[in-house]
Amino acid sequence: MRPFSDQLNPDHFLCRTDARVKILSTLTILVMVLSYRGVLLPLIVCGVGAGLSASMGVRFRTLLLRFFEPFFIILVILLLKTLFSGNRPLFSIAFFGIPITAHTDGLVEGVLIGCRIIGGVTAVAVLGFSTPFNQFMAGLSWMKVPRGFVEVSMFAYRYIFMLFDDAIVIYNAQKNRLGYSSIKRGLGSFGILAGSLVLKAFDSSQSTAVAMSQRGYDGSMPTLEHRPFRTREVALSAIFVLLMGVLWRM
């Protein structure tokens, strides 16, 4: 499995922008989207984010995979809000003798929450598509995020792809031996797969700790050195955030 940064287009202007500027802008947009009372701003953020992702060469399948879980959460929220929240009935049906009533105001509230979710996820997704992980972690370090969180995240990012590759190898070996030919055998094979990955992760952590200790690791991991802020990048980001702020105030 390739790291996420391999999908970047280094020639795109957003990929060349300072990670600190992108993180601060994304956090500001995220606060606006989550605090907005309507659907206009989240939908605009979603549209702009989709356009930027397409211009960076992000494949449509990758976007679908990234938004699959948020769409599922939105669907659940819409269902719960429509059926269990609100006072204005929309329709009513009987399910095995149990009356179920949908509410108009509950549906509207669910739509508002869903728009905020999709707008926020789009903003974060654009940040992820345009920022290599090491630069993102360096930006968080510059923002004084706890060092322990940054270091653990960097280790996790380094080894999650190795564990994923190991999982693919074990799964293919099990599949070739008809390990998933039935539900019972599939559950057993999945248990073996999960246990093997846990043992592999534990062994890798021990080996990594010993290797880094022998190389003088003292609990402090160096990060990238930041170049000075560029006036053009800061100005463009400020203009974009101000435009979003105007929409937020409307």
- Give helix 19-35 / helix 231-249 axis angle, nearest 10°: 0
Distance CA 133, CA 4 (A): 8
What pLDDT, on a 0 to 100 scale, did the predictor assign at position 32? 94
Neighbour tally for 154: CB within 10 Å: 18
Q: Which residues contact 62 (CB under 8 A, 6 or more apart)?
A: 7
Q: How many CA atoms lie within 13 A of 5 on its CB side?
A: 12
What pLDDT, on a 0 to 100 scale, did the predictor assign at position 2? 47
Distance CA 23, CA 132 (A): 12
Render pLDDT for 42-75 as a digit per residue (tens, 0 to 9): 999 999 999 998 888 888 888 888 888 899 999 9
Residue 224 gets which letter from DSSP? P
Spell out the per-residue pLDDT of the chain, length 250, in tens: 444 554 567 778 888 888 899 999 999 999 999 999 889 999 999 999 999 988 888 888 888 888 888 999 999 999 998 888 878 888 888 777 778 788 888 889 999 999 999 999 999 999 988 888 888 888 888 888 888 888 888 878 878 888 888 889 999 998 898 888 888 888 899 999 999 888 888 888 788 778 877 777 766 666 666 778 889 989 999 999 999 999 888 7
What pLDDT, on a 0 to 100 scale, did the predictor assign at position 220? 65
Distance CA 50, CA 7 (A): 16
3-state secondary structure of 98: strand
Q: Which residues contact 14 (CB under 8 A, 6 or more apart)?
A: 22, 52, 56, 126, 130
Distance CA 53, CA 122 (A): 9
